[in-house]
Amino acid sequence: MTQPLHTPHPHKNPDHKPRIGITIGDMNGIGPEVIIKALSDHRIMSLLTPVVYGSGRVLSFYKKQLNNEELNYTQVKNKGQFVPRQLNLVNCWEDAIEIMPGKASVETGKAALLSLQKACEELKEGVIDALVTAPIDKHSIHSEAFPFKGHTEFLTQYFGASESLMLLVSDTLRVGLVTEHVAVKDIAGLITRERVESKLKLMEQSLRNDFGINKPKMALLGLNPHAGDGGLIGTEEEQILKPLVNDWKNKGKLLSGPFPADGFFAAGQYSKFDGILAMYHDQGLIPFKSMAFENGVNFTAGLPIVRTSPDHGTAYAIAGKNQANESSFREALFKACDIVQTRKEQLVGK
């Protein structure tokens, strides 16, 4: 079922810049570092109003570690009363949790969940316009309160969507996934006509509503090596994917494939398409991250709200060492603003 687009809440926003909520993620990972580095660029404050959901103690700890005296923040006392051109901080817990860069802990997992829950609550109420999530550690956060494999699954349920699409986005590439966080041995059984077509519909709708592409050109990758080689290496292409592509073409859709994944990226065919649907996680993410790691963004398509994130994880190995690159996080902020604006324009045009 198609979800309605997010309707802004009547909280006053005199600055008219998008209010971008930012979850702190796992405080022992690189999330706080990339947040501080990205928001230290004062030009960003002229484009958006950032609202970090986390802890002033965590921000102060990493500001000191980074020897960062440029970034100041305002603690939010009343819901939705944000100061333009400032980092606004919403404190989500009172306890003094020990900060140990590079170390996973149950306590930091609980704190990451408190940050996520508070941000989603205010996003649902329209207090903020979009959400950018810093990386979580899936083992630390996993609990009865968070029985999910990641942000995407949690957000899909929280915002009442029947399903969503993980869409990796850069300036030149958009790659969606039919299957996400599943074991390789289970992938083939999940490649059904219904699932692939459902993901294609989500991609097409997102390319229209979120990226403003009225007649998107889409490509479908094959599941097997050489896209099945005419049925010699698996039958999914012949039995499922090719009939689906033909049916869509007959309906006037600009869909091509299924393509052998290796040659598709190696030969640069990706540049001819607005969106590419990969069958599984590594098939889509390895080429994407190879080409766009520093400026790639993870966008959750199919939700009634806007959510982006950087395309990297907690990176415990470099946490607290001032080595994290904030480029992907910065791009996630920009992309969230762009999609908020595009959705507004699409609503006006209807």
Angle CA 172–19–61, to nearest 5: 90
For 234, other C-beta atoms within 10 Å of its C-beta total: 18
Question: What DSSP element (H or E) covers 5?
Answer: none
Question: Which of these, 135, 25, 136, 119, lies nearest to 79 by C-alpha position?
Answer: 119
Q: How far apart are the first and last CA of the chain?
A: 19
Could you check whether the bond before residue 243 is cis, i.e. omega within 30 degrees of 0?
Answer: no
| Domains 1-162+303-350 and 165-301 belong to one CATH topology | yes
**Per-residue pLDDT in tens (0 to 9) along the chain, 350 residues:** 333 333 333 344 555 799 999 999 999 999 999 999 999 988 899 999 999 999 999 999 999 999 998 888 999 999 999 999 899 999 999 888 999 999 999 999 999 999 999 999 999 999 999 999 999 999 999 999 999 988 999 999 999 999 999 999 999 899 999 999 899 999 999 999 999 999 999 999 999 999 999 999 999 999 999 999 999 999 999 999 999 999 999 999 999 999 999 999 999 999 999 999 999 999 999 999 999 878 899 999 999 999 999 989 999 999 999 999 999 999 999 999 999 999 998 877 65
Greatest Cα pair distance in the chain: 65
Backbone angles phi, psi at 152, to 5 degrees: -55, -50
For residues 237 and 240, what is the distance between their CA atoms, to the nearest angstrom?
6
pTM of the model: 0.91
Give me the residue spans of the domains in the chain: 1-162+303-350, 165-301
The DSSP code for 312 is S
How far from chain centre, in Å, is Cα 2? 19
Sign of CA dihedral 272, 278, 281, 282: negative
Q: What is the DSSP letter of 230?
A: G
Q: Among all chains, which residue has been given the structure tokens 């956060």? A: 141
165-301, CATH topology level: Isopropylmalate Dehydrogenase (3.40.718)
Question: Which tokens go with 266?
Answer: 């190696």
Nearest alpha-carbon partner for 275 in 178, 156, 153, 150: 178
CATH architecture of 1-162+303-350: 3-Layer(aba) Sandwich (3.40)
Question: Which runs of consecutive H residues, i.e. helices, occur in the chain?
Answer: 31-39, 56-65, 106-125, 138-141, 151-158, 184-190, 193-209, 236, 242-250, 261-266, 281-292, 327-349
Whose CA is closest to 25, among 108, 105, 90, 98?
A: 108
Please, which residues have CB within 8 angstroms of residue 139's CB and are 6 or more apart in sequence? 104, 109
For the stretch 73-130, pLDDT in tens is 999 999 999 999 899 999 999 888 999 999 999 999 999 999 999 999 999 999 999 9
Digit-coded pLDDT (tens) for 216-258: 999 999 999 999 999 999 999 999 999 999 999 999 999 999 9
Please give the full DSSP string across 196-220, using - where no structure is assigned.
HHHHHHHHHHHHHHTT--SS-EEEE
Quick check: helix, strand or coil at residue 144? coil
In angstroms, rounded to a whole number, what is the distance separating the alpha carbons of residues 117 and 120?
A: 5
* Alpha-carbon torsion angle 220, 221, 227, 231, nearest 10: -50
Beta bridge partners of 102: none
